[in-house]
Structure 1
Amino acid sequence: MADTSYAPPADIDARRTAALVAGLLGLAVCAVGFAVARDQFFRAWLIAYLLWLGVSLGSMGLMMIHHLSGGSWGMVVRRVFEAASRTLPLMTVLFVPVWLGMATLYPWTHPEHVAADEILQHKAAYLNTPFFLLRAAFYFLGWNLIALFLSRWSKAQDEGDTAVTRKMQRLSGGGLVFYALTITAAAVDWVMSINPHWFSTLYGFIFMGGQGLSALAFVILIAAFLSKRAPMNDVLKANHFHDFGKLTLAFVMLWAYFQFSQYLLIYAANLVEEIPYYITRTTHGWQYVALFLILCQFILPFSLLLSRDLKRASNRLVIVAIGLLVMRFIDLYFLVSPEFDAAGMNLHMEAGEHEGGFFLHWLDIAAPVGIGGIWVWMFFTQLRQRPLLPIRDPYLQDALESTGGH
């Protein structure tokens, strides 16, 4: 007899414990890094933080898209989206090292830099520490409230209150607008302002596309894990993975489109304020990272995801998803690290630390493992608290009976 309670599988606890152990070990290594290479610690932390925050926010964005558009693809993994979005309180706390490292990360926090730079003086009304922190508080407040209400109403729906279905749809409409605006602003604040002389109007779109890609890759991994265990082995079928693969292909193309559009606009304009962005990334070893990104975050996954058979085979799709998550880290590393060279911030590095050019520090590995382990632990903690399907959603039965389109 089929299990209609859709309780999470028991072995989630083992994965949860393993993630916690990995996270604590990674954070312990980060603590050593904080003591011996503090500037590098803050830079590695920022990159790792952006990676895992992207999974949280990308999941919340996809969940809101599902509330607005419907479809079986989102129904069967809605609880995965909800659990990922409920990690946002954790990510709010983990932003504290970014706050503490502002003097290392952002040149505009140094009064002597501002006094000697006319451009920074013109931007001082926006780029100042109190306003930076106020904006960050606003972003986190909004993101956490959206996740809280969507999660609370989803729980109320499980308890029989079907009226909240419409509330979730209405909140998702406004929430997507808020998400787009705040991600754009956060990308400017937390990454673009590392080199405050440079600017791009497409920067926020690049981050949004990347977050959607990160979230989909993670969802594929969790869906494949659940599809091999009761009760979701009776729910997650080949057509669902086909849908996940098609969405992933769309986000791969979207990421490439935004990146190429930014390059084309900067190349065509040929402005002295903008071209250093690509000069920095095509010298001192960074050009090989750029080529690797083009190959492994666009050409290779694009080619593989064209295959209908691959998209319908969860074991093969998982390999693509793992590769994309690794590439998301490399992409963020490529977005952030060269900016310190361009901004001249290597002058503030401590003795013995690397100065300029492509270089992978051991903290660049420890930080994503540490934050990621704690994030995955929190994710599984949230996932195990509710049924794996929204059992009283009025559209659930239609979604379960759907056989997929193409």
Structure 2
Amino acid sequence: MQTLPTSDVPALAALQQRALVVGVVALLAGAAGAFLNVNQFFLSWLIGFLFCLSLALGSLALLMLQHLSGGQWGLVARRVFEAASRTLPFVALLFVPILFVLPRLFLWAQPEAVQADHVLQLKAPYLNVPFFVVRAIIYFVFWLALVWILNKWSAEQDRGVGVTTIDSIRFRKVSAPGLLFLVLTVTFASTDWIMSLDPHWFSTIFGLLTMAGWGLTSLAFAIAVLALVAPDPAGSFLNARHFHDLGKLLLAFVMLWAYLSFSQFLIIWSGNLPEEIPWYIQRIRGAWGVVAILLVLGHFALPFLLLLSRNLKRHSGLLAKVAVFVLLMRLVDLIWLVAPTFSHSVPGEAAGHNAGFAIHWMNFAVPIGLVAVWLFLFARQLRARPIFPVNDPYFQQAFAHEAH
């Protein structure tokens, strides 16, 4: 068993402290805003919950993908993925307030709306409050079980238990079915928590698009964290080749997200069905159309062009800046998905109000507050264990990369 590199990185400690301060201030501002517009507050809470969930579940997916592929890129970032996945209990707590305000967010949770809408009546066997809650419990139980198993075995590996190549197969035996069922549950969860905000709209690609976006979010976050650790002696294992590998994967995820997003748009737009097309009309006309153009340029075109540079991908600082920019675009994308539909889901709102531009300051303040608290917990989890899995049987191979 080798000596474990310390996880007591000053930059992580500073990040943890600053995140807590930002989180408290932003949430206090959001709480004050709740007295002025409670519906807007819970919409913003939903956005913040979904962003935190994307960080935790995207990391869990990438962790299992690394166990399956044995890729050196994942071994470098494995502890970041594990620490992020261990924040899932906190994310589950963030979901609890949503259960108490379902009629404020979801049209199908309003009995009077269901009685007046034939489509909602047809979807009622699936879109009803009791079944919604049961499904959510099933999702979180499954996700938490995966997190517990994989992190438990990883901790045993740190103690020198199960460090042989043969014994590491158990990670793959869990990750193979685990990743499959994770994609399935995320598909249903994204349908429940995002798509059903507009219960008339549906897309068969949306679940896969959500999973790709969450993977992109988690990978960009991992790159930013590793770049923060790299200058510290604890990050001495990292070199330009590692960041180059991660940068190439980030480029692949950016392209995958763009491909799936365009495919969904092309299929729905060419189909021109009355149940589907209004969803896009709301988001590509008027001021929301400006946000759509921003996503095309900022979420795809700019990162794509920048990540084509080999030198940029090998420079941890520059790559981290691109990753942070991608994270910002991920938040904008989430707001673009959720906010335009919200007025349809709130009793008493004018039916055409959602056609206007309605980005509220709480759409940023509350999610930033929740993510900052999440970041505080993440940093604490990351500092609690060795920063790299040196007892992994593939560690020497992964960190023997020469920078060239």
TM-score by length of 2: 0.95
Mapped partners of 2:83, 2:362: distance in 1? 28
Matched, 1:160 2:160: yes
Give the deviation of 1:142 after TM superposition. Answer: 0.8
User: 1:151 & 1:358 partners in 2: Cα distance?
Assistant: 43
Query: 1:36 offset after TM fit, Å?
Result: 2.2
Aligned to 1:197: 200
Taking only the aligned residue pairs, the percentage that are identical comes to 47
Unaligned stretches of 5+ residues in structure 1:
none
Give the aligned partner of residue 335 of structure 2: 333
Taking the aligned partners of 1:10 and 1:306, their CA distance within structure 2 comes to 31
In structure 2, give the amino acid aligned to 1:271. L
Cα offsets for 1:20-78 (capped at 9, x unmatched):
11111122122222222110001111112111210111111001000010122111211
Q: Which residue of 1 aligns with 2:311?
A: 309
Aligned equivalents of 2:157, 2:254: Cα separation in 1: 34
The question of whether the paired residues in 1 share the 8 Å contact of 2:103 and 2:346 is answered with no
Contact 1:29-1:366 within 8 A present in 2 as well: yes
1: CA distance between counterparts of 2:95 and 2:324? 25
Amino acid at match of 1:99: L
The yes-or-no answer on 1:223 pairing with 2:226 is yes
Distance in 2 separating the partners of 1:97 and 1:349:
22
For the residues of structure 1 that align with 2:339 and 2:253, how far apart are their CA atoms? Answer: 24
Partner AA of 1:296 in structure 2:
G
State how 1:302-381 maps to structure 2 within 5 Å. Answer: 302-341=304-343, 344-345=344-345, 347-348=347-348, 356-381=355-380
Shifted more, 299-308 versus 6-15: the winner is: 6-15
Give aligned pairs, total. Answer: 397
- The equivalent residue for 1:82 is 82
2:272 corresponds in structure 1 to 270
Give CA deviations for 1:343-369 in whole Å, capped at 9, x if unaligned. Answer: x2355359xxx8652222121121122
Counterpart contact for 2:183–2:211, Cα < 8 Å = yes
Q: CA RMSD in A?
A: 1.7
SS at match of 2:35: helix
Query: How much has 1:10 moved relative to structure 2?
Result: 4.1
Equivalences for 1:108-147 in 2 at 5 Å? Answer: 108-147=108-147
| CA pair 5-161 structure 1, distance change in 2 beyond 3 A | closer
SS at match of 2:233: coil
Deviation of residue 15 (structure 1)?
Answer: 1.9
Contact 2:104–2:346 at 8 Å: present in 1 too?
no
- Report the secondary structure of 1:9's partner residue: coil
Contact 1:72 1:402 in 2 (8 A): no
| 1:75/1:396 contact within 8 Å kept | yes
Whether the 8 Å CA contact 1:346–1:356 is kept in 2: the answer is no
The C-alpha deviation readout for 1:286-314, integer Å capped at 9, x for no partner, is 11000110001111110110111110011
Conservation of the 8 A alpha-carbon contact between 1:114 and 1:120: yes
Contact 1:157 1:165 in 2 (8 A): no
Q: Deviations over 1:175-225 (max 9, x none)?
A: 111110011101100011111111000111111111011111101110001
Structure 2 counterpart of 1:8: 7
Aligned pair in 2 of structure 1 residues 240, 217: CA closer, same or farther (>3 Å)? same
8 Å CA contact 2:197, 2:342 repeated in 1: yes
Tell me which residue corresponds to 1:256. Answer: 258
Where does residue 186 of structure 1 map in the other structure? Answer: 189
Name 1:241's counterpart in structure 2.
Answer: 243
In 2, Cα distance between equivalents of 1:177 and 1:403: 34
Residue 56 of structure 2 is matched in structure 1 by: 56
What is the distance in 2 between the residues matched to 1:389 and 1:303?
A: 31
Give, in whole Å, the separation in 1 of the partners of 2:26 and 2:177. Answer: 37
Q: Report the Cα distance in structure 2 between the residues aligned to 1:133 and 1:365, rounded to whole angstroms.
A: 27
Note closer, same or farther for the CA distance 1:122–1:355 as it changes in structure 2 (3 Å cut): closer
Please say if residues 39 and 346 of structure 2, whose CA atoms lie closer than 8 Å, have aligned partners that are also in contact.
no
Pairing 1:25-44 to 2, within 5 Å after superposition: 25-44=25-44
Task: Give the whole-Å Cα distance in 2 for the aligned partners of 1:136 and 1:76.
Answer: 32
**Matched-pair contact (CA < 8 Å) for 1:23–1:374:** yes
Match of 1:401 in 2: 400
Q: CA deviation at 1:393?
A: 1.0
- 1:398 offset after TM fit, Å? 1.1
Kept in 1, the 8 Å contact 2:342–2:354? The answer is: no
Contact 1:187 1:204 in 2 (8 A): yes
**Contact 1:63 / 1:81 at 8 angstroms: preserved in 2?**
yes
- Superposed displacement of residue 265, structure 1: 0.8
Aligned partner letter, 2:182: Y
Output the amino acid matched with 1:126: Y
3-state DSSP of counterpart to 1:8: coil
**For 2:340, what is the secondary structure of its paired residue?**
helix
CA distance in 2, matches of 1:355, 1:394: 55
User: Residues 193, 355 of structure 1: CA spacing in aligned structure 2 closer, same or farther, 3 A cutoff?
Assistant: closer
Name the amino acid aligned to 2:243. Answer: F
The alpha-carbon distance between structure 1 residues 109 and 190, as it changes in their structure 2 partners (threshold 3 A), is same
